[in-house]
Structure 1
Amino acid sequence: MQPDVQVSRKSRFSVVVRGIALTLAMTLGAATPAFAQYPDKPVTLIVPYPPGGGTDVIARIVQDKLRAQLGQPIIIENRGGAAGVIGTELAAKAQPDGYTVLFTLSSHTINPAIYKKLRFNTEKDFDPVSMVASLPQILVAHPSLPANNVKELIAMAKAKPDSLSYASVGNGSPGHIAGEMFKLKTGTQMTHVPYKGGGPAVSDVLGNQVPLLWVSIPAAAQFVKQGKLKALAVSTVKRSALFPDVPTVQESGIADFEVDSWYAMFVPANTPKPVVERLQKAIAEVVKQPDIKEKLLAQGAEAVGSDSAGLGAVVKRELPKWAKLVNDAKITTE
């Protein structure tokens, strides 16, 4: 009888093992296709700025090629206001499923120093996906402004303190930071006029309601080329390939001046890693295509692909950098 008991025990054990294996296989089988099929519906890019600004322009340049890579429509949803805060908060609260993606500007790392009561955490509430493009801020003026270069602008500002004002796409935007850094390093006084995006800001400078503007090159490029705005300087350490005759601020005599704007994609925190990787690989394929590089270059931007870790490192590095500048320049949202 003993051998039969042993056989019975072995049989029961085999049944249990097979049951566990089957359950595990079913579980994995249910999970894997969900990731493998992503995306199976349209993906929304939240652009936290109005249409016509630099962020919107760059997002629309990559829109069609990203659609081709993902095999689903890419819907751009403009949610402007408060230098990107309104749209960013909306993205932070979205479902972490990869169907809501934040396409934003480098104000993402500036806003935490400007706005003390943000209802989201820049690092904890977002997972980085990829850098997309990088470009300078450009200082442009209405053609009627007497100053034709940075030195003349400084002289003009010092001769009549607080007589000049400059526009930006909003408090905490790279243009705002560039303008305040300019004031801090030159000892000049100018009034900051924040807008809800590049489109409205450019429009008012074109109408000479505000004489100066710090903005991402895509928002102002066509008007500079048409002579409707004059370019005085760019904010990076290297000149813009689109405007090689426009000097940098450093070349104009202001040491250690650099504000490098970037555009990047983020998703709500806890988005499944395979989904993040799918998005990252898709945008990496997009930005290396020659026609996309050409279109970005036509806007004064350089195509930049990165992995999630690389973008995360940029965020971690810039948060304290801009916090110090905001403190030193005593920048407020008032």
Structure 2
Amino acid sequence: MTKKIGRRTSILMTGAALATPLVPSVRAQQTGLPDKPLKILVGFPAGGGTDVMARLIAEPLKQRTGRNVIIDNKAGASGTIAVGDLKNAGSDGTTIAYVPSATIVQRLTMPSVPFDPMVDIAPITLAGTVQTAFCVSPTIGVNDLKEYVEWLKKNPTRASFGTTALGSFTHFFGVMAGKAVGIPLEPIPYRGAAPLVADLQGGHIAAGCGGITDFLEHHRAGKVKVIFTSGVKPTTSAPEIPTITQLGYPQLSILGWYVFFAPPKTPAPLIDAWGKELKAVLAIPEIQRKLVELGLDVETSTPAQFTERMTADLARWKTIIDSIGYKPQG
């Protein structure tokens, strides 16, 4: 006999169908990861671009592995606290970190940072590339670089910009831009994107510089206005925003990245297991779409491929840092 389904039961069944995970759970399968809660360290406050991306990736990772995946915000010192913690974490495969190049470059600018990226942390996979964004406060009535330069000439006492990571390219890109247009800009450090966006929205600071992942959502909401980015060609997420190359300053182009790292001496099988799971999540079309909307152009790698890339980038970045006369701090 067929049992009639009531209205309430039907609604519950529909809701359950809508709540189907993005990916099938593999709780019963062997993932190669520890059968324990997994932790992803994030070196910036909750709500910033790095945190939002990490949480976006963590949910399908939880569904795939059947493990509880925790985001642990270790904010401060432009992300270096989290990487320092990763360096000292156990190599049992339970802890990794989601790290931007803005944090790694500080090894060149602040030798006292508590890690050497070539030795003290182990790459798992590249997550994607990201451009640096230069934005202005909506309160100053500026729409592009030309208008911003004219505004600076009329308001010389406000020739400063907030940076989400002092001693990184969210700092240097702003300095380089000011130098290129002939108006020196003073960097003001912030503890992440959230407080900088608040000050930009309120008009407490005229401009800001950081990863486009930190600003794109706020740009679309009208809280800040991104007037150019650091790429050669526009980012996939915002093709309407001009790049510094398109504006006539190709020497200023800088491309950053986000990477998953493990503690040093993590066994290769655990690195491989993490890489397999993370790449599977990053290949999910809906996850890719959301990451692109945040400003990340998704791209993965092997550990060896990323090590080669990081080596080359650190060499180029040192040349850039030397060219603007920046002296290592501390």
**TM-score higher than 0.5 here?**
yes
1: CA distance between counterparts of 2:111 and 2:153?
32
Structure 1 residue aligned with 2:288: 293
Structure 1 residue aligned with 2:118: 123
2:129 aligned with 1:134: yes
Q: 1:91-240 to 2 correspondence within 5 Å?
A: 91-157=86-152, 163-240=158-235
CA contact (8 A) 1:110 1:173 kept: yes
* 1:87-129 Cα distance to aligned partner (Å, 9 max, x none): 1111111112211101111124311111121222111101110
Structure 2 residue aligned with 1:10: none
What's the CA shift for 1:240? 2.3
Q: What TM-score do the two structures reach when normalised by structure 2? A: 0.85
Distance 1:113 1:265, change over 3 A: same
What's the CA shift for 1:180? 2.1
CA contact (8 A) 1:48 1:104 kept: yes
Unaligned 5+ runs, structure 2: 1-29
Q: 1:264 aligns with which of 259, 283, 293?
A: 259
Percent same amino acid at aligned positions?
A: 27
What's the CA shift for 1:50? 0.9
Bigger mean CA offset, 161-170 vs 295-304: 161-170
Structure 1 residue aligned with 2:42: 47
The amino acid across from 1:250 in the alignment is T
2: CA distance between counterparts of 1:228 and 1:76?
26
* 1:117-151 Cα distance to aligned partner (Å, 9 max, x none): 12221111011100112222221111122432112
Query: What's the Cα RMSD here?
Result: 2.0
1: CA distance between counterparts of 2:62 and 2:280?
12
Distance 1:307 1:66, change over 3 A: same
2:65 aligned with 1:70: yes
What's the CA shift for 1:64? 1.0
Unaligned 5+ runs, structure 1: 1-34
Structure 2 residue aligned with 1:328: 323
SS of the residue 1:209 aligns to: coil
CA contact (8 A) 1:140 1:229 kept: yes
* 1:210-240 Cα distance to aligned partner (Å, 9 max, x none): 1111122232223221222222111111112
Select the structure of larger CA radius of gyration.
1
The amino acid across from 1:76 in the alignment is I
* 1:234-258 Cα distance to aligned partner (Å, 9 max, x none): 1111112332221111111223221
Structure 2 residue aligned with 1:7: none
SS of the residue 1:204 aligns to: helix
Structure 2 residue aligned with 1:282: 277
* 1:308-332 Cα distance to aligned partner (Å, 9 max, x none): 1111112111112222222222335
1: CA distance between counterparts of 2:122 and 2:198?
34
**Aligned length, in residue pairs:** 300
Q: What TM-score do the two structures reach when normalised by structure 1? A: 0.84
SS of the residue 1:144 aligns to: helix
Distance 1:165 1:81, change over 3 A: same
* 1:283-305 Cα distance to aligned partner (Å, 9 max, x none): 11111111111111221222111
Structure 2 residue aligned with 1:31: none
